[in-house]
């Protein structure tokens, strides 16, 4: 399996917080990037928009296309929602992807990271593509897993992804 280098994005967290994409070349490596976006109540409206901007800024640094980077999106709070599936126009066209990200509603529920990981393992990443392109899940959250009845430990929730050779990056946004 090849190693893929994903360009970094920097977020300013001050009163005028914005997403600032780095300058320089874009990433043209072929890989699948699934993003799990926290839509829990602790995010708040203004920070939810910052999270959208972060995702769109990251996508703008990638060469998105059917033979290049494909993007998928899960939005999670109490329940994970598959917003963008791999292999669709929204996953292979940058404009369609960013428009879809802008349209993702803010749910304001609890923080069920475990169910987002389960949905990524079972529904987001298409079977068989692991041999064609590396697969990465970027989970963005502002906090911890809600300790709800039926929730499972994150170390257990991430195991199916690792068993499928999907790299998992958890990114905690601090607002």
pLDDT one-digit tens code per residue, 50-109: 999 999 999 999 999 999 999 999 999 999 999 999 989 999 999 999 999 999 999 999
- Residues 18-29, buried b or exposed e (16+ Cβ, 10 A)? ebebeeeeebee
User: Which range among 21-25, 149-153, 156-160 shows the weakest confidence by mean pLDDT?
Assistant: 21-25
Provide the pairing of β-strand 10-11 with 19-20.
antiparallel
> pTM for the whole thing?
0.84
With respect to residue 90, please indicate whether it lies within any of the assigned structural domains.
yes
Q: Cβ neighbours of residue 26 under 8 Å, at least 6 residues apart? A: 7, 60, 61, 62, 63
CA–CA separation, 77 and 35 (whole Å): 14
pLDDT in tens, 118-153: 999 999 987 767 677 899 999 999 888 888 888 899
Q: What is the pLDDT of residue 16?
A: 46
pLDDT score, position 18 = 46
- In-domain check, residue 19: no
Instruction: Give the range of the structural domain holding residue 42, as residue numbers without chain letter.
Output: 30-172
The reply to whether 18 falls in a domain is no
Looking at 14-143, list the stretches that DSSP marks H as alpha helix, in order from N- to C-terminal side: 45-60, 89-92, 94-102, 113-119
Question: Would 41 be classed as within a structural domain?
Answer: yes
Number of domains in the chain: 1
**CATH number for position 122:** 3.40.50.410
């Amino acid at each position: 399996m090849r190693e893929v280098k994903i360009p970094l994005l920097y977020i300013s967290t001050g009163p005028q917080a914005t997403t600032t994409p780095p300058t320089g070349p874009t990433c043209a490596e072929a890989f699948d990037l699934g993003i799990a976006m926290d839509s829990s109540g602790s995010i708040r409206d203004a920070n939810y928009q910052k999270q959208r901007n972060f995702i769109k800024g990251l996508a703008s640094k990638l060469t998105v296309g059917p033979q290049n980077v494909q993007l998928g999106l899960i939005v999670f709070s109490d329940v994970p929602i598959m917003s963008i599936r791999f292999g669709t126009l929204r996953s292979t066209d940058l404009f369609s992807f960013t428009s879809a990200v802008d349209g993702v509603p803010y749910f304001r529920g609890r923080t069920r990271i475990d169910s987002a990981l389960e949905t990524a393992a079972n529904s987001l990443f298409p079977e068989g593509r692991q041999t064609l392109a590396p697969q990465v899940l970027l989970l963005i959250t502002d906090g911890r897993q809600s300790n709800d009845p039926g929730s499972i430990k994150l170390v257990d929730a991430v195991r199916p992804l690792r068993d499928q050779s999907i790299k998992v990056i958890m990114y905690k946004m601090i607002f």
